[in-house]
Amino acid sequence: MSHSQTATQGKTQPIITLEGVQKYYGEYHALRGISAEIRQGEFFSLLGPSGCGKTTLLRAIAGFEDISGGVIRLDGRDMEGVPPNKRPTNMVFQSYAIFPHMSVAENVGFGLRRSSMSAEEKRRAVGEALEMVGLGKFGARAAHALSGGQRQRVALARALILKPKVLLLDEPLSALDKKMREVMQVELIKLQREVGITFILVTHDQEEALVMSDRIAVMFEGEIAQLDDPETLYRRPRSRRVAEFIGMMNFLPARVLPTGPGGGRIALEVAGLGPAELETAQCPNGAAVGEAEIGVRPESLTVLYEGQSAEGGREAEGTVREVVYYGDMTYYDILLDGAPAPVRVSMRNMPGRRVLDYGARTRLAWDPRSMMLFS
């Protein structure tokens, strides 16, 4: 195997190339032409609601599903007809799939059964793999006597012991409670950096994807809606649907005005906020004159307290309709004058900063640079 050789080829080298991948289940079109390149050594996420095809795509890469069309290339090799046991991928299953009739060490060493290593080398490899996931002393334990988090680690060690070119993770954290999930998120990132193996994560949890990934492919109905790094995905969602799915976004009706000659900027009239000018990069669906919508994140709207004023005079007024206090943050739903529905505003709570009361009148500052226009 040439693991070490491929590892030195750098991050930009695609380890997986998907070209127009199609999958039908009878009449049902589960994957509608997926094309993407997954780079060597990156942490890549497939994010989408249930039924969007993300798990099907992952299983197709692993070899558990035959594809109906297109090409999956792994390290330059067409995977057509290659069974899962002959692919340089390993998988962490959603249920972890720990073999219940084996000890922890037997589980972790299962993949080495067919290797030419000596018994001593195998034992050492198992020990190292267990050490890597922080289960150094658990080798002799019966597999069914483990907690959820420990099972997760055993599944990771078992999949990584073969040093696969790509590690596939199918919703690996969904069975854990919130605290444990946050711990494992950080551990997975660390682990991935340590081993330098390409990770492909399937998740429906946008926060998880944002926290862990180098790049994310957002999928809806068997198609990739957007493939970008987390920040671009959050700041510059290319469709209303992606914007809604990633984080919280406020939508306000807007009217696109005819631009003067030589403009490059798009002039709008936004309900509740007033006139605004956007760059074309902020208008992924174009900016045809007429009715449209703008999207703005809660943290891009700022409550103005007495004596404060907004830069450039971009202020709006409204009434507090809901106050949700989180300790470090407060979320307000504020109905702006002239807007059809309230917008959500998040404010960091700081010493000396008063939490607004329900029904209070307040002013908001806003910044057109943080807006997106959707038509």
Query: What SS3 state is found at 45?
Result: strand
Q: Shortest CA distance to 344 belongs to which of 251, 255, 268?
A: 251
Buried b (16+ CB within 10 A) or exposed e, 91-110: bbebebebeeeebbbbbbbe
CB of 311 to other proteins, least distance (A): 55
Q: What are the CA-CA distances from residue 147 to residues 126, 182, 220, 301, 331 (Å)?
A: 20, 16, 34, 43, 36
251 binds other proteins (CB under 8 A): no
Return the ∠ at Cα 368 (arms to 287 and 289), rounded to 5°: 20
Q: Rank residues 42 and 65 by Cβ distance to other proteins and give the closer one.
A: 65
Interacting positions 115-144 with other proteins (CB under 8 A): 142-144
CB of 102 to other proteins, least distance (A): 9
Residue 8, classified by CB atoms within 10 Å of its CB into exposed (0-12), middle (13-18) or buried (19+), is exposed
Joined tokens for residue 85:
């046991």
Q: Rank residues 83 and 351 by Cβ distance to other proteins and give the closer one.
A: 83
330 binds other proteins (CB under 8 A): no
Q: What is the DSSP string of 147-168?
A: -HHHHHHHHHHHHHTT--SEEE
Stretch near other proteins under the rule CB under 8 A, chosen from 66-74, 90-98, 281-289, 302-310: 90-98
CB of 79 to other proteins, least distance (A): 14
Exactly one of 114, 178, 179, 348 binds other proteins (CB under 8 A); which one?
114
Exactly one of 99, 305, 325, 358 binds other proteins (CB under 8 A); which one?
99
Stretch near other proteins under the rule CB under 8 A, chosen from 38-46, 111-119, 227-235, 365-373: 111-119
Torsion of CA 114, 115, 118, 121, to 10 degrees: -120
Exactly one of 41, 48, 111, 149 binds other proteins (CB under 8 A); which one?
111
Exactly one of 23, 54, 158, 297 binds other proteins (CB under 8 A); which one?
158
145 binds other proteins (CB under 8 A): yes
CB of 90 to other proteins, least distance (A): 6
CB of 147 to other proteins, least distance (A): 12
Q: Rank residues 47 and 108 by Cβ distance to other proteins and give the closer one.
A: 108
Stretch near other proteins under the rule CB under 8 A, chosen from 98-106, 125-133, 198-206, 211-219: 98-106
* Residue window 56-85: x/- pattern of binding to other proteins, with contact defined by CB under 8 A: ------x-x------------------xxx
97 binds other proteins (CB under 8 A): yes
CB of 72 to other proteins, least distance (A): 16
Joined tokens for residue 228:
């970008």
Total of residues contacting other proteins (CB under 8 A): 26
169 binds other proteins (CB under 8 A): no
What distance in Å separates the CA atoms of residue 114 and residue 108, rounded to the nearest whole number? 13
Instruction: Give, as one character, the DSSP assignment of residue 106.
Output: H
Radius of gyration (C-alpha) of the chain in whole angstroms: 25
Work out the number of other CB atoms within 10 angstroms of the CB of residue 337.
Answer: 11
CB of 187 to other proteins, least distance (A): 21
Query: What SS3 state is found at 199?
Result: strand
Exactly one of 17, 22, 35, 94 binds other proteins (CB under 8 A); which one?
94
What distance in Å separates the CA atoms of residue 21 and residue 169, rounded to the nearest whole number? 20
Joined tokens for residue 108:
């972790």
Please give the residue ranges that form the binding site for other proteins (CB under 8 A).
62, 64, 83-85, 89-91, 93-95, 97, 99-101, 110-111, 113-114, 142-145, 158-159, 162
